[in-house]
Amino acid sequence: MGKEVVTMCRDAHAYQQTTTQQHAASAEVGVYECEINLKFRLIEEKAIFKDRDQLLELLLEAFTYGNDEYMETLQVDVNTQAMPEVNASPKMRRQLIRLRNSKDIA
């Protein structure tokens, strides 16, 4: 490797580290309660509606693809609000602490 290439690689690495550190310092994470109400019409096989886990996955997948000849959106409501961290489960609070202590938060 030439001297210029090595210098460029070092500069790029230093820039990436600085950018990551700045992002980590400015990133704020919190606990949010989210409610999504979706209403849409869907053409689908009747059998799929018997397995609730598979049904939810199918409905979310259909919604993300958007309107087409098999689905039409009727209503979408999304509400989010920050909630006190003490209201989160212990597992979520531990994850929040890990994220805040992480140098690689993205």
- The span from the CA of 83 to the CA of 49, in Å, is 34
* 3-class secondary structure, 32: strand
Residue linked to tokens 């890990």: 98
pLDDT score, position 63: 84
> Whose CA is closest to 96, among 20, 30, 34, 32?
30
Q: Are the C-beta atoms of 83 and 45 separated by less than 8 Å?
A: no
Whether the model clears a pTM of 0.75, i.e. scores above it, the answer is no
pLDDT tens string, the chain, 106 residues long: the values are 444 433 344 444 454 455 445 444 556 889 999 999 989 898 888 888 888 888 888 888 888 888 999 889 999 999 999 999 999 999 999 999 999 888 765 5
- What are 78's two structure tokens? 């999304």
